[in-house]
Amino acid sequence: MQLWESITIALRALTINKLRTILTMLGIIIGVAAVIALVSIGNGVRQSMNEQFTSLGTNLLTISSGGRGGRGGGPGGPPGSQEEDTSQDDLLEKAAEPLTMKDVEALTDAAQTAHLVGIAPTYSVNNLSGGVVYEQEEADDVSVTGVTPDYAIVRNMTPEVGLFISQEDVDRRTRVAVLGYEVAETLFGTNLSSAIGKSVRVNNAQYEVIGVLPESGEGGFGNPDNTLLVPISTAQTRLGNSGTFRGSLQVSNIYVEVDSQDNMDYAEAEVTAVLRERHRLGTEYKNDFNIQNQAQLLEFGDTLATTLTAFLGSIAGVSLLVGGIGVMNIMLVSVTERTREIGIRKAVGAKRRDILTQFLIEAMVLSLFGGFLGIAVGYSIAVVLPMLVTQLSSTVVTANSILLATGFSAAIGLFFGVYPATRAARLRPIEALRYE
């Protein structure tokens, strides 16, 4: 009952000067809204980055030719050990061998690579003349890539309509194509099904459309919607000239799916060992290939997004701090204005803790009301912001950010209300009653 009475008195005191109360609450409202909105932007960036990494495929290793990457493979320890990594610095360099279909066959050998469940080589065609054409429509700057059937599984590229490239298409080097969403929309409009069975012209040759990929959105790894996939053998021999190395056709990249996230590092070491043996690197040469570990990319992206979220949250925290100073200021003014009231309450028996509690509750009520309004404003901003800023794909408002903002606003009221409340509680009744 005493607590409820204190809350009632606090509300009555705050409504006496409505404009002053609203202006004081405005600092808290802006601060809480900023915390929720900015943290939601950081969470949205984290979600977008994770979606982009996941769109590459789950538990993915990406192998490319040239340079140095992945695990060491030299002498000095078991696969994937720290000693093996550092030993690379002491090894010699040699001209990098290209990746070939023989490398793919070696990685497919389950006896050597127990943790690999999917191997998908690709060949990128870079010598196209013009874009992809259908009748009078043309899609420019289309990325044309040769793939195998496993590419759909390893890279999560199941067509939205139609079929994916089959092994028979690869064996026969057929002229069939799977279109990215943007390419299909440019050439055939929004009715994607109408593209199936039609022929598009690529490098002055007709390719039958057998499938259309779902929309995935442009990200930091290129635009998968602006792509055209053909059988890898067709890309190597008809659209492009991959050339051979030691009697095997060259490939641009090899995507490897690992059976478990826990086995990513060990699978990377397995791949390294196989390719080093294939490329005859022995124990004296550095790797002539790069291995990109998706788990490491996810970890890096999550760390980056967490840092961004913390940075944005700290900026918003400054607004809350300013709002808290405003609360303390208004409470000090209130103590001065109500000095006689405090004296009368003490004269009729109110104790120091009663006065202290009363002014603390007023500060808390002021902050919490501002906090609740700030939550509503911040949530609204987070919902509307992606509609206004096209570069921002989404925002994510979490319960943690709401609890953080609410708890922070309550803490602001408590912290900045202590001094005014203490000052009010220390007033002597006689001096307070004499105050004009």
Tens-digit pLDDT profile for residues 149-203: 999 988 888 899 999 999 999 999 999 999 999 999 999 988 889 999 999 999 8
- Phi-psi domain of 61 (left: phi exceeds 0; alpha: psi -120 through 50; beta: other): beta
Query: How much of the chain is in helix, strand and coil states, percent to nearest 5?
Result: 55, 15, 30
The single residue listed with the structure tokens 């408590």 is 414
Whether residues 406 and 304 fall in one domain: yes
Q: Which pLDDT value is given to residue 73? A: 45
Instruction: Encode pLDDT of 304-320 as tens digits.
Output: 777 877 787 777 778 77
In a domain, 168, yes or no: yes
In a domain, 250, yes or no: no
Q: Which of 240, 262, 288 is the last residue of a domain?
A: 240
Whether residues 177 and 50 fall in one domain: no
Strand runs labelled E in 237-346:
244-245, 248-249, 253-258, 289-293
Q: Quick one: tokens of 427?
A: 């007033």
Angle (CA) 407-412-414 rounded to 5° is 95
| Residue 198 Cα distances to 176, 209, 212, 231, 317, angstroms | 10, 6, 12, 17, 57
Q: Which of 240, 255, 278 is the last residue of a domain?
A: 240
Give the three-state DSSP class for 170: helix
Q: Which pLDDT value is given to residue 218? A: 55
Q: Which pLDDT value is given to residue 171? A: 94
In a domain, 401, yes or no: yes
Q: Which pLDDT value is given to residue 63? A: 92
Sign of the CA dihedral with 352 first, then 358, 363, and 364 last: positive
Whether residues 221 and 142 fall in one domain: yes
In a domain, 103, yes or no: no
In a domain, 228, yes or no: yes
In a domain, 292, yes or no: no
In a domain, 407, yes or no: yes
Whether residues 206 and 313 fall in one domain: no
In a domain, 402, yes or no: yes
Q: Which of 240, 256, 275 is the last residue of a domain?
A: 240
Q: Which pLDDT value is given to residue 420? A: 74
Whether residues 222 and 331 fall in one domain: no
Q: Are 415 and 360 in contact (CB under 8 A)?
A: no
- Neighbouring-strand partners of residue 254: 63, 121
Q: In the chain, how many domains are there?
A: 2
Q: Are 109 and 121 in contact (CB under 8 A)?
A: no
Low-confidence stretches of the chain (pLDDT < 50) are 68-86, 220
Whether residues 308 and 423 fall in one domain: yes
| Residue 100 Cα distances to 33, 123, 251, angstroms | 55, 10, 5
Domain that holds residue 14: 2-54+299-434
